[in-house]
């Protein structure tokens, strides 16, 4: 038995259900969640693993994207974050944290359902940061529908454009700027492997992200650029109470994980840092599951 003071029981390290009812309108704000998600604002400590890097993170205002952006800055990278204009309040907190880490921050409000904006945000990043060598395509749309009859063409189209089309547009615009040694990281989900019946369109896009990234990795390695996927399980982000799950599921979110709780965004940050860094120089086309014990197959 050890009494090491730095060890924490992972089952009780973060909040567990039952959570309060907290519905929000899409896209929602992390600051209005209870409990507030831990994105690493006070807990993530860097160790100079990404000094001098130039990063673009979509969905960088909250959730996993926010955790990655904070971690990248504290590891020494300049960071641009893309987000919806309605998420400005959360985004400005991230911009401030990047600045406090002594790195350059770039705010890119806009809607990635617009192809022209997807291409423009890449160009703005390259111009303002002086290059691009770390790309995290993370922003996603998740709106549950109980039955296939409830999933309208407009719903389906918005999910496809946000989760898949934008991935292609941003990657296509970014690749000409990525030097050898650069890294592309996409965010899929356990939904790609164990789809929920109420997330028909979302799960479809997440499976597509896995396939797209694996194929892209085979192309890009010929240029010396790596591409990998992170596939989270239940993570406590604003995606859930803003229409991503029914209220009853939000109250019990993460209960069925091996830990009896959802993951916190900060718990995924080290995986993004690893895949971004030179320490992952022989990792390409892989899917890293952070699923609370459920795995990916």
Instruction: Give all domains of the chain, ordered by start, each with its CATH number.
Output: 47-277 (3.40.50.720)
Cis peptide before 18, with omega less than 30 degrees from 0? Answer: yes
The pLDDT value recorded for residue 294 is 86
Confidence of residue 296 (pLDDT cuts 50, 70, 90): confident
pLDDT score at 6: 81
pTM equals 0.96
Q: How far is CA 246 from CA 80, 134, 143, 256, 291, in A?
A: 32, 35, 9, 16, 20
Kindly tell me the sign of the dihedral angle through the C-alpha atoms of 10, 27, 60, 297.
Answer: positive
The number of beta carbons lying within 10 Å of the beta carbon of residue 42 is 9
- Mean pLDDT for the stretch of residues 62-73: 98
- Which residues face 231 on adjacent strands? 289
Enumerate residues 6+ apart whose C-beta is below 8 A from 127: none
Helices (H) and strands (E) in the chain, counts: 8, 7
Q: Which pLDDT does position 2 carry in this prediction? A: 54
pLDDT digit string, tens, across residues 84-120: 999 999 999 999 999 999 999 999 999 999 999 999 9
Q: What is the pLDDT of residue 1?
A: 52
Average pLDDT over residues 152-157: 97
Where helices occur in 183-229 by DSSP H, the ranges are 200-220
Asked if the model's pLDDT at residue 5 lies above 80, the reply is no
Q: Is 230 in a helix, a strand, or coil? A: strand
Beta strands in 99-176 (DSSP E): 105-109, 134-137
With vertex at residue 29, the alpha carbon angle to CA 23 and CA 30, rounded to the nearest 5 degrees, is: 95
Arithmetic mean of pLDDT, 48-76: 98
Burial of 183 (0-12, 13-18, 19+ CB in 10 A): buried
Res 145: pLDDT: 97
Write the pLDDT tens digit of every residue in 157-203. Answer: 999 999 999 999 999 999 999 999 999 999 999 999 999 999 999 99
Answer yes or no: are the C-beta atoms of 271 and 232 closer than 8 Å. no
Closest CA to 137 of 208, 33, 36, 199: 208
pLDDT of residue 166: 98
155: how many CB neighbours lie within 10 A of its CB?
A: 15
Give yes or no for a contact between 99 and 125, defined as CB atoms under 8 angstroms apart. no
Going by the DSSP 8-state scheme, the letter that residue 18 receives in this structure is P
The answer on pLDDT for 3 being more than 90 is: no
- Provide the pLDDT confidence category of residue 21 given band limits of 50, 70 and 90: very high
Nearest to 73 by CA among 56, 90, 89: 56
Identify the active-site residue in 144, 202, 212, 272.
Answer: 202
The total of other beta-carbon atoms located within 10 Å of residue 151's CB is 18
Longest dimension (CA), the chain: 58
DSSP assignment string, 22-88: ----TT--GGGSSSPP--STTT----SSSTT-EEEEETTTSHHHHHHHHHHHHTT-EEEEEE-GGGH
Q: Tell me whether residue 202 is one of the annotated catalytic residues.
A: yes
Percentage of the chain exceeding pLDDT 90: 95
The per-residue pLDDT for 124 is 98
């Amino acid at each position: 038995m050890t009494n090491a003071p730095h060890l924490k029981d992972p089952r009780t390290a973060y909040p567990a259900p039952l959570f309060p009812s907290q519905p929000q309108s899409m896209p929602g704000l992390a600051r209005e969640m209870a409990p507030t998600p831990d994105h690493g604002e006070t807990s993530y400590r860097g160790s100079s693993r990404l000094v001098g890097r130039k990063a673009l993170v979509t969905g960088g205002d909250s959730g996993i994207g926010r955790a990655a952006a904070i971690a990248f800055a504290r590891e020494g990278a300049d960071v641009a974050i893309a987000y919806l204009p309605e998420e400005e309040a959360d985004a400005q907190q991230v911009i401030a944290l990047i600045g406090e880490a002594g790195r350059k921050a770039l705010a890119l409000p806009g809607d990635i359902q617009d192809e022209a904006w997807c291409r423009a945000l890449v160009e703005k990043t390259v111009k303002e940061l002086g290059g691009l060598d770390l790309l995290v395509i993370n922003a996603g749309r998740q709106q549950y529908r109980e039955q296939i009859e409830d999933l309208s063409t407009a719903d389906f189209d918005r999910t496809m454009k946000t989760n898949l089309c934008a991935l292609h547009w941003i990657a296509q615009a970014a690749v000409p700027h990525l030097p050898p040694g650069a890294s592309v990281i996409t965010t899929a989900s356990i939904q790609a492997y164990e789809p929920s019946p109420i997330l028909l369109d979302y799960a479809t896009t997440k499976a597509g992200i896995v396939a797209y990234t694996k194929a892209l990795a085979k192309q890009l390695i010929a240029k010396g650029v790596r591409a990998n996927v992170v596939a989270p399980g239940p993570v406590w982000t604003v995606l859930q109470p803003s229409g991503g799950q029914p209220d009853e599921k939000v109250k019990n979110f993460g209960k069925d994980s091996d830990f009896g709780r959802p993951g916190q965004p900060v718990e995924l940050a080290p995986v993004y840092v690893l895949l971004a860094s030179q320490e992952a120089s022989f990792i390409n086309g892989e899917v890293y599951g952070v699923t609370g014990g459920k795995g990916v197959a």
